[in-house]
């Protein structure tokens, strides 16, 4: 919409410039107001400019008007000639109207002359501008177009437009003078986003604007890697033809492997990718965490790389083989492909930062709640050893129990020779792990069938019964007692299962232990009894109930 004053001004300008409104007319000084959106500092500059023009006439008026108008045009980031004309005219008109030294006819004549020169300047400025001035005007016009979209003139908006495939916006950004290599807050360029999105026209436009094909983000990746990881086979040759360097090609090769893109791998190998990176690529594909990379696609990459002669058992810098990577990610199809290619089934990860390190593929398969049972069966059938331990001394059986494996997984491992009495570095056994799990009775029975020691003690003297008592798992505790667990055995600190149950506030567990003959007045290594634990360690209501139960059982 056009504001009322602006409309008034436009009508007035037409009448004066066309000669329909002659000097001396009573409406000659009915000046429009300054447009409301004008910034205060710009109003001040315009008033100062009008003061410089002053009472100039003829050639002097022409020169001053032209120079002042051009100067103001250069100070408007989104220069709009009509907008500037409105501001300049309104200010000049008001200045003349308020000058008592001028007659009405003089005011009208000057307004008509000023209006004519202003229009000539605005309409003819481009033809008289220097190359630098014309370039500045073009940039301003482009920024004005962005504002009309609307898009802010920022690196983030530029990069986002490229990623979204908005070719028109990208061209306006470039015309407005934005650096084609500018990066968004994430450290990525427009070329990277355009390449990853497969927007070839935008890629070409950016390269034409001198975007650097080898510009890297914080991870060291270039637009070529973005294209390779997204399988943009139409973009890859464009970037390669524009001078992608060897490092960029090699990183893109690994990105293509991780994304599961065989054809991109072929292309990059033909264009100079280092074949020596194939072993690393094998691991990248096997352990890929790229969203959208299907196991079938990744398996195709594995097959392709193996066909190129890659070593199936090579470890990456972190100590992982392709088989270990695939087992960790639960990719049974790839596990089978690698085993068929001769991968060592009992190779351990030499990594130290992942759950303690020293894991085998079988341990990986055992850790996820039974969801990888088919993989576990495959590995055992191929000779996986259930007796191997990781750096924490844990076998696949202990790991399966720690990660709440299925009863089928537990029984399978036991049937394949897993030691039911194996201990980890803390002396913990499978029976302890099972006792410390909710609804662990079925696990306990499976272990006891394989002659697990119900009274085994860990390094701190704890027993499976203590694990169950501390957690309040009465069913587990009853199963252990039925199997011969010693109810009054003490830990290294002299604590019994009853003391631990009292300290943890497990009322039902305490009652069950008392029913099964637990001694109520035993003392720990510090001389504390069950009654002391109740009085000192429990909150009010639980404390009251526990003391009552213990005293009823004879505690003193």
pLDDT in tens, 397-415: 999 999 888 899 999 999 9
* Domain co-membership, 14 together with 112: yes
- Of all residues in the chain, the percent with pLDDT exceeding 90 is 66
Q: Which tokens is 115 given? A: 């209006």
Q: Give the confidence band of 68 by pLDDT, cuts at 50, 70, 90.
A: confident
* Domain co-membership, 122 together with 190: no
81-97 vs 4-18: helix crossing angle, rounded to 10: 80
Domain total for the chain? 2
Does some domain include residue 284?
Answer: no
Q: Which of 274-283, 371-380, 459-468, 535-544 has the lowest mean pLDDT?
A: 535-544
Residue 189, beta-bridge partner list: 183
In terms of pLDDT, which residue wins out, 549 or 150? 549
Q: pLDDT (tens digit, 9 = 90+) per residue, 420-473?
A: 999 999 999 999 999 999 999 999 999 999 999 999 999 999 999 999 999 999
Which has the closest alpha carbon to 494: 536, 460, 459? 460
* Domain co-membership, 72 together with 187: no
Q: Give the confidence band of 4 by pLDDT, cuts at 50, 70, 90.
A: very low
Residue 183, beta-bridge partner list: 189
In terms of pLDDT, which residue wins out, 58 or 498? 498
Q: pLDDT (tens digit, 9 = 90+) per residue, 191-229?
A: 999 999 999 999 999 999 999 999 999 999 999 999 999
* Domain co-membership, 125 together with 155: no
* Domain co-membership, 107 together with 203: no
- Examine the fold and report which residue of 239, 256, 282 is the final residue of a domain before the chain moves on: 239
Which has the closest alpha carbon to 105: 30, 26, 51? 26
In terms of pLDDT, which residue wins out, 293 or 396? 396
CB within 8 A of 553, min separation 6: which ones?
514, 520
Q: State how far the alpha carbon of 303 is from the alpha carbons of 108, 147, 298, 338, in Å.
A: 88, 52, 9, 9
* Domain co-membership, 102 together with 188: no
Does some domain include residue 187?
Answer: yes
The owner of tokens 């008392």 is 514
CATH number at residue 176: 1.25.40.20
* Domain co-membership, 82 together with 197: no
Which has the closest alpha carbon to 330: 379, 380, 382? 379
Does some domain include residue 119?
Answer: yes
Q: Give the domain extent around 192.
A: 149-162+164-239
Q: pLDDT (tens digit, 9 = 90+) per residue, 345-389?
A: 999 999 877 777 999 999 999 987 667 899 999 999 999 999 999
* pTM score of the predicted model: 0.71
* Domain co-membership, 131 together with 191: no
Does some domain include residue 435?
Answer: no
Q: pLDDT (tens digit, 9 = 90+) per residue, 124-138?
A: 544 455 666 566 667
* Domain co-membership, 169 together with 190: yes
- pLDDT of residue 7 exceeding 50, the answer is no
- Provide the residue count of the chain: 556
Neighbours of 141 (CB within 10 A): 15
**Which pLDDT does position 393 carry in this prediction?**
97
Q: Is 225 exposed, middle or buried (0-12, 13-18, 19+ CB in 10 A)?
A: buried
Q: Where are the alpha helices (DSSP H) in 74-103?
A: 81-97
Average pLDDT, the chain: 86
* Domain co-membership, 118 together with 177: no
Does some domain include residue 233?
Answer: yes
Q: State how far the alpha carbon of 84 is from the alpha carbons of 87, 91, 450, in Å.
A: 5, 11, 93
Does some domain include residue 404?
Answer: no
Does some domain include residue 209?
Answer: yes
* Domain co-membership, 125 together with 188: no
Does some domain include residue 502?
Answer: no
* Domain co-membership, 16 together with 109: yes
Q: Which of 493-497, 507-511, 539-543 has the lowest mean pLDDT?
A: 539-543
- pLDDT of residue 532 exceeding 80, the answer is yes
- Examine the fold and report which residue of 239, 267, 287 is the final residue of a domain before the chain moves on: 239
365 touches 334 (CB < 8 A): no
């Amino acid at each position: 919409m056009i504001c009322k004053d602006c409309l008034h001004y436009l009508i007035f300008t037409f009448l004066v410039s066309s000669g329909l409104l002659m000097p001396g007319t009573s409406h000659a000084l009915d000046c429009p107001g300054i447009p409301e959106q004008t910034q205060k500092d710009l109003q001040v500059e315009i008033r100062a400019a009008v003061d410089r023009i002053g009472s100039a006439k003829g050639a002097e008026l022409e020169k001053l008007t032209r120079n002042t108008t051009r100067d103001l045009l250069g100070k408007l980031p989104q220069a709009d000639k009509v907008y500037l004309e409105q501001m300049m005219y309104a200010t000049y008109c008001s200045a003349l109207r308020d000058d008592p030294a001028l007659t009405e006819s003089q005011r009208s004549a000057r307004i008509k002359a000023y209006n004519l020169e202003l229009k000539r300047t605005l309409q003819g400025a481009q033809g008289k501008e220097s190359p630098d001035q014309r370039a500045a005007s073009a940039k301003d016009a482009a920024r004005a177009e962005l504002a009309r979209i609307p898009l802010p003139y920022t690196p983030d908006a530029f990069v986002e437009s490229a990623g979204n495939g908005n070719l028109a916006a990208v061209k306006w950004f470039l015309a407005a003078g934005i650096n084609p290599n500018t990066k968004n807050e994430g450290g990525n360029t427009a070329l990277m986003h355009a390449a990853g999105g497969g927007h070839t026209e935008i890629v070409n436009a950016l390269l034409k604007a001198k975007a650097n094909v080898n510009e890297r983000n914080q991870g060291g990746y270039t637009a070529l890697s973005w294209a390779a990881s997204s399988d943009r086979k139409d973009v890859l040759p464009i970037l390669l033809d524009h001078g992608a360097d060897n490092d960029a090609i090699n990183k893109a090769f690994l990105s293509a492997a991780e994304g599961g893109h065989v054809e991109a791998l072929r292309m990059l190998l033909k264009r100079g990718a280092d074949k020596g990176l194939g072993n690393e690529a094998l691991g990248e594909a096997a352990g890929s965490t790229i969203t959208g990379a299907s196991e079938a696609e990744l398996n195709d990459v594995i097959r392709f790389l193996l066909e190129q002669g890659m070593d199936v058992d090579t470890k990456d810098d972190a100590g992982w083989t392709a088989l270990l990577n695939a087992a960790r990610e639960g990719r049974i199809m790839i596990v089978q492909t690698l085993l068929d290619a001769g991968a060592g089934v009992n190779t351990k990860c030499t990594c130290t930062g992942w759950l303690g390190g020293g894991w085998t593929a079988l341990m990986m398969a055992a850790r996820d709640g039974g969801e990888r049972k088919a993989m576990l069966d495959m590995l055992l059938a191929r000779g996986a050893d259930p007796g191997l331990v990781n750096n924490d001394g844990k076998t696949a059986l202990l790991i399966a129990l720690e990660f709440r494996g299925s009863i089928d997984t537990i029984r399978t491992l036991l049937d394949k020779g897993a030691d039911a009495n194996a201990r980890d570095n803390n002396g913990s056994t499978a029976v302890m792990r099972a006792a410390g799990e909710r609804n662990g009775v079925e696990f306990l029975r499976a272990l006891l069938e394989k002659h697990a020691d119900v009274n085994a003690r860990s390094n701190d003297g704890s027993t499976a019964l203590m694990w169950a008592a501390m957690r309040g798992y009465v069913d587990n505790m009853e199963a252990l007692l039925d199997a011969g667990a010693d109810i009054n055995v003490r830990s290294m600190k002299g604590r019994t299962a009853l003391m631990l149950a009292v300290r943890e506030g497990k009322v039902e567990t305490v009652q069950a232990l008392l029913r099964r003959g637990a001694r109520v007045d035993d003392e720990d290594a510090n001389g504390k009894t069950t009654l002391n634990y109740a009085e000192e360690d429990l909150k009010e209501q639980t404390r009251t109930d526990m003391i009552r139960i213990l005293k009823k059982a004879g505690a003193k």
